[in-house]
Amino acid sequence: MKKWIFLLVVLLSIPLFFSCEDLDDTIEEPSLVIKFQFDPNQVRLNNLGQPASIPAGHAAQTPDFSKISAHYFELAPNANTQLGDGAVLFHADETTQGGSVAIDFSKATIVGEGEAFLKIPLSQITQGNYEYVRVSLAYQEYTISVRNAGNDYLGKLASFVGYNTYITTHSIGNNAFPVNGNRLQGYWAFALNDFPYATSGQAPAGATTVPNPIAATSPIPSGSCVVTGKFPQNLIITGNETRDIVVTLSLSCNNSFEWEEITADGKYEPSIGENVVDMGLRGLIPTYTR
């Protein structure tokens, strides 16, 4: 009898043993999680990271952001760290299918506010003390207001701010925009929300604002969209972390959609020839929680 009791105890303990082992196998190691936030009240900056007003003869509005994508992410130890010499944690897929090297839009990760854009195990990140974040933005999608014949309408704008993007066909709602080629920084497409109207265009070369407060010591290439921001307190990676570190990239969309005015009324009216000149985000403030 004692022998049977012993065997029963052993058999009952086997599932428990394997269950615990399986549970241990599913525990994820801590990661660095990257998220985006859009702030309409954050300071509006210029390319040097200085507060900027709207130029004479121009007007701007604060768009209602819904989606964003980036193709490069780097942690920089200090203001003298040259672009690419920090901890490069992400570089999205590129292609030469359109001729020159370009971001492959078909493989882009596109997220909304608060969604995880990147999740990188902390064990894969070089231990160190990081003062700055550098993120190269690639795509923005948001709602803007346009005027036509005295009436105001809402529509969605797709804004490609990466240095160069290879696009097959992209869509806004039911509107398809076949491109099948490369588009340099500043390509955009627009569709009205409730009416069958869609169009596309190209902002002037070099007109996209890309704030970089350390431009004097660590410049970025012309035509790129590598926005730079400083942590309020340095991010320290020790290698002993037991929990995720969540980095939130707060981007200023304060009057970030800018055009040349023909009628000085602060209304974007493309039908009379008012042209988009700048779609660059207006500053980056990175923060983190552990």
In angstroms, the first-to-last Cα distance of the chain is: 56
Among candidates 110, 26, 86, which has minimal Cα distance to 235? 86
9-13, 32-36, 186-190: the lowest-pLDDT one: 9-13
Cβ–Cβ under 8 Å, residues 122 and 239: yes
pLDDT digit string, tens, across residues 196-255 = 999 999 999 999 999 999 999 999 999 999 999 999 999 999 999 999 999 999 999 999
Q: Give the whole-number percent of the chain exceeding pLDDT 90.
A: 89
pLDDT digit string, tens, across residues 121-168 = 999 999 999 999 999 999 999 999 999 999 999 999 999 999 999 999
Predicted model pTM? 0.89
CA angle 248, 138, 92 (to 5 degrees): 85
Residue 25: predicted pLDDT? 53
| Mean pLDDT of the region 184-201 | 94
Residue 28: predicted pLDDT? 82
Q: Does position 20 have pLDDT exceeding 70, yes or no? A: no
Quote the CA–CA distance of 163 and 104 in Å, as a whole number.
Answer: 12
